[in-house]
Structure 1
Amino acid sequence: MIIQPGIAKANLGVSREDVTLEDHPLNPNPDSRWNTYFKDNEVLLQIDKDVRRLYPDMAFFQRPTDYPCLLILDPQNEFETLRKRVEQTTLKSQTVARNRSGVTNVSSPHKTPAPNSLSEYEVLPNGCEAHWEVVERILFIYAKLNPGIAYVQGMNEIVGPLYYTFATDPNSEWKEHAEADTFFCFTNLMSEIRDNFIKSLDDSQCGITYKMEKVYCTLKEKDMELYMKLQEQSIKPQFFAFRWLTLLLSQEFLLPDVIRIWDSLFADDNRFDFLLLVCCAMLILIRDQLLEGDFTLNMRLLQDYPISDVHLILKKAKDLQDAK
């Protein structure tokens, strides 16, 4: 079911109406509700920028959902929606940025809007809500409920395939509950992969650096010649495997192919060990090009992976798994 108004209002953050005269915007107290409001806005604006460019080659996320939030449907509702909050927070005539020295820079109001800016998207009428706005709400509520990790860029790429799967299900009952089901699945998936998004854990045994090194350890075991070639060219796994592992390959393939890969990953009891094998299979399948290429060519191959047949990749990964 759709996230209910009471739950949404409790977790969408502090609204302007929640503050009092005693708690003003310049209050330096870290417990100030205005301070919380401004911090929430920083998170929200980053989420908003990311979800608006989610799968730009597909029209789906820009289309209106048949099941918008109940708060939006209520004509008497005066609660500040996320869309309204972003519109109020974003300065349309000029861009203000604070650099590391604390100096505020103001750009020209006549500057051409950047790609994926607010002006690129058609504003839906009142009572309507785009699919990307649903994804935005899921991520913002997750950030509020999990302040230890909050929101990290790339989480939008994890939510996208989950939400798309539920929201396009032929069964209307599944589609109606796509938002809540996505939130549940995303929360559970993040409980398994959240360490990838926590920078302080990068070099620990549960961090992303350790997992990237395991890709090369697996490759060394399966194909020593290719491993040595990458080592000789100083092609570190951080150059390509960071994105592969952190985003579960969601940026390497088209969305239907990502969903196919995830079907195999989530069906495996040792899903993240299998992900390592998938990454290793991707390397082995282009071994001839990698062995012949120089550093520049090989980096281009690894950062823009050339094979689109995910069934071939999954078959190779399964062969590697069975060869143990």
Structure 2
Amino acid sequence: MSIFKARVKEFDDALAQDVVDLKELRRLTFNGVPDVQSFRALGWKLLLGYLGPTRSSWTTTLAQKRALYKQFIEELVLPPGHSCNGAGDADGDGDGHAEVAVESRGVGLQDHPLSEGPESAWNTFFNDNEFLLQIDKDVRRLCPDISFFQQPTEYPCDIVVHSRGEHGRRLHERVVPTVLSSANVERKGLGMTKQQINLITKRSVETYAAMEEGQEAHWEVVQRILFIYAKLNPGQGYVQGMNEIVGPIYYVMASDPDLSYRAHAEADCFFCFTALMSEIRDFFIKTLDDAEGGIKYMMARLSNMLKTKDIDIYEHLKSQELHPQYYSFRWLTLLLSQEFPLPDVLRIWDSVFSDEQRFDFLIKICCSMILIQREAILENDFASNVKLLQNYPPIDINVVITHAVSLA
């Protein structure tokens, strides 16, 4: 039996148990998930805690979570005064009985689109656009090296795409392009400097087009996931870079060979993303930078590891005043999602999600990325090293991971 077939059998056996042994699943996943069947999508659901290890509970859990997500769409995405049955018509008969629909959405008849009252659903609807502008901008440039996010999903959200000529149900329709160009990037707690903006993203700007009525591009689905997340987490909201975290998760769920799972990629992705964000939310909140688990703390750990493993590189970068935030801020905050092609990111995340100490191994990978470029870094001047570390050269990801494993 080939090594590949043997690994497939190991995953098959591990995931077929009545009670999945998470320790065994972590061991297998740490070494990379075969790109077949539903191994990665199911494995990530388990490792991120969306599903429990008891197989018999999966059906109930998935049904409840997916129903809850549909409720989120109806309450948070659809405009006030619109039912999910038709165009502002609760019974879907097309007679335009908007009053019934208004009542069905819990919006009082006194509410009006021009109302500025704090309890006004319409006021909230328009205020949402402040962060929707940035979400729209970010998701339109998601993973530009592949066409996946520009393609139509096989399972568009019916209550959103069949708008029958009404604007506002599809989030991108709310965005005013002339305002979009001046949208500010902001990290919760303190506005980011231009320098920090450059460090958080390096994607080229794309102009993905929206689909016609009845269809949705994958980026439009990701936009809705991020919008709902921001609405449900007002203390954090949306921060640039979250699109790079949700993108790979959605890609895995929406590429699941099992059609019964793929049909619910949006809901499943939302809850997996939410679970992951609960672990890395401190990275995105400026006031928690110095807290254990905050981004400054993580960068300090990387810097200390580098100092321990190779004092020469550490001192060289220090002498050039090339501080960790110039490169590792983005590496750590976005879990390396912008440093490598998507297939390599998935491979990295297999190992990161399998790590019981979760981000210990992420730091080892980042340290290895620096150590592997040892000769070049020691020869380079400041400008060349900034370019090298902010635009990491192509490399076999297995070389990096193997090196990271070797770091005791």
TM-score by length of 2: 0.68
CA distance in 1, matches of 2:313, 2:256: 42
2:156 paired with 1:156:
no
Bigger RCO (CA 8 Å, 6+ sep): 2
Aligned residues: 300
Residue 78 of structure 1 and its aligned partner are, at CA, apart by 5.9
Equivalent residue for 1:59, pick from 114, 124, 147:
147
2:173 paired with 1:87:
yes
State the match for 2:132 in structure 1.
44
Equivalent residue for 1:176, pick from 235, 255, 263:
263
Once the two structures are superposed, residues 214-235 of structure 1 have per-residue CA deviations (whole angstroms, 9 ceiling, x without a partner) of: 1100111111111111111111
Which amino acid in the other structure matches residue 87 of structure 1? Answer: E
In the alignment, is the contact (CA less than 8 A) between 1:71 and 1:77 conserved in 2?
Answer: no
Equivalent residue for 1:71, pick from 154, 159, 165:
159
Equivalent residue for 1:25, pick from 114, 121, 137:
114
Residue 70 of structure 1 and its aligned partner are, at CA, apart by 2.4
State the match for 1:108 in structure 2.
none
Once the two structures are superposed, residues 41-87 of structure 1 have per-residue CA deviations (whole angstroms, 9 ceiling, x without a partner) of: 1111211110011011211101110111120365679683134xx32
2:72 paired with 1:7:
yes
Describe the shift of the 1:154–1:91 C-alpha distance in structure 2 as closer, same or farther (beyond 3 A). closer
State the match for 1:207 in structure 2.
294
CA distance in 2, matches of 1:138, 1:96: 22
Which amino acid in the other structure matches residue 45 of structure 1? Answer: L
State the match for 1:298 in structure 2.
385
Residue 89 of structure 1 and its aligned partner are, at CA, apart by 3.9
Give the secondary-structure state (helix, strand or coil) at the position aligned to 1:218.
helix
RMSD over aligned CA atoms reads: 2.6
CA distance in 2, matches of 1:144, 1:153: 15
Give the secondary-structure state (helix, strand or coil) at the position aligned to 1:271.
coil
Describe the shift of the 1:232–1:73 C-alpha distance in structure 2 as closer, same or farther (beyond 3 A). closer
CA distance in 2, matches of 1:183, 1:95: 25
Pairing 1:261-280 to 2, within 5 Å after superposition:
261-280=348-367
Once the two structures are superposed, residues 154-189 of structure 1 have per-residue CA deviations (whole angstroms, 9 ceiling, x without a partner) of: 000000000101111222122112111111110100
Once the two structures are superposed, residues 233-260 of structure 1 have per-residue CA deviations (whole angstroms, 9 ceiling, x without a partner) of: 1110000000000000000000000000
Describe the shift of the 1:81–1:200 C-alpha distance in structure 2 as closer, same or farther (beyond 3 A). same
CA distance in 2, matches of 1:273, 1:13: 41
Once the two structures are superposed, residues 71-128 of structure 1 have per-residue CA deviations (whole angstroms, 9 ceiling, x without a partner) of: 0365679683134xx3244156x878599xxxxxxxxxxxxxxx857xx444422111
In the alignment, is the contact (CA less than 8 A) between 1:281 and 1:317 conserved in 2?
Answer: yes
Equivalent residue for 2:222, pick from 135, 148, 152:
135
Residue 21 of structure 1 and its aligned partner are, at CA, apart by 5.3
Give the secondary-structure state (helix, strand or coil) at the position aligned to 1:129.
coil
